[in-house]
Amino acid sequence: MPGETDLDVMLAGLSPELEPTEYVYATVPIGVVVPVAESAVVRVAEAEGTTLVLPVAEAIGLGLQHEFPCQRITLRVHSDLAAVGLTAAISTALAAEGLPANVVAGFWHDHVFVPADRAADAHAVLLDLTAPATLRTAIASDEADLWRMLRHAAWADDGEQPETDPYLRRYVEGWGRPGDAGIVAIGPSGRVIGAAFARALGALDGGDQNDANDRDHGGGDHSHDTDDVPELAIGTIPSQRGRGLGGRMLEALLTEMAAAGHATLRLDVRDTNPAIRLYERLGFERTRTRTNRVGTTSIVMERALRPGAG
């Protein structure tokens, strides 16, 4: 019975189902006889021996060498065995979140074995591939999620903490002040998978002193402007990049800010960031360059939000 071959249809119909059982990969060397492993869900004959994927308790009971504690996510969509792209799409999404994926194709379904200690994360990643995110206005209680999205927006490395960085923290700290504007994206999993938000950073609590603090933090001229023009931060979780979510959020934010009476929105973006094309498509214009916090060049861009603004 042929299955589905259209990638978009397959992703929409994934219906990933996380099984609670903890499995391991075990090996039975050539020439070794063990009792039949009744609970093995995968059996692969290899030159070095037979690989079994079976519950960890059974592997221990049989005295088998084993590794990779994992859980199984069954993709309930019936994909054709000759379908192209599904394995790549799910493994790419999981890899973007630092998750390995061992995919086994069955006649009816694909099965993904993921690390047991991050199985819930993997399940959420796959759920969020099945449908577009729902957008809503950011509220004060979203502050923790905005911090997470700021890390992605800032290309922060593992050693950077936006919460303690004098330049970055101003985008989120005390979120919900008058004039703050934001859009958050909620995936089918129920988690926040992206956000676009803006506030007048330079005007917060005395712009001149804050700019001095920013310059002291890393040198150069990566300071916030001292006017009342809101500055944008926008980020998505890695597995959602390239899926059009950034554009959707930004368009919604532009509409919300224009309706609230804001005249202009400003951003700065590293000159190597491909998102520049998105910003230009949505009407942002380059105004100048400046040195960013890591010592490279960023492009400052602005977009008028109502006639005559700029």
pLDDT at 208: 40
Across the chain, mean pLDDT equals: 89
Task: Give yes or no for residue 307 having a pLDDT over 60.
Answer: no
Task: Give yes or no for residue 204 having a pLDDT over 90.
Answer: no
pLDDT at 70: 98
pLDDT at 205: 52
Using pLDDT thresholds of 50, 70 and 90, give the confidence band for residue 32: confident
Q: What is the dihedral of CA 296, 297, 298, 299, to 10 degrees?
A: -170
Radius of gyration, CA atoms only, the chain: 24
> Per residue in 282-301, pLDDT tens?
999 999 999 988 889 999 99
Give me the phi and psi of 189, to 5 degrees please.
-75, -15
- pTM here? 0.87
Give the integer Cα–Cα distance in Å for 144 and 158.
Answer: 18
Task: Give yes or no for residue 207 having a pLDDT over 60.
Answer: no
> Per residue in 181-191, pLDDT tens?
999 999 999 99
Task: Extract the tokens encoding 237.
Answer: 């979780």
Residues 131, 188 contacting (CB under 8 angstroms): yes
pLDDT at 293: 82
pLDDT at 30: 85
pLDDT at 223: 55
Question: Which residue in the block uniquely carries the two structure tokens 């922060």?
Answer: 156
Task: Give yes or no for residue 215 having a pLDDT over 50.
Answer: no
The helix (H) or strand (E) run that includes residue 135 is strand 134-137
Q: Integer distance in angstroms from the first to the last C-alpha of the chain?
A: 60
- Over residues 191-213, the mean pLDDT reads 70
Higher pLDDT, 109 or 2: 109
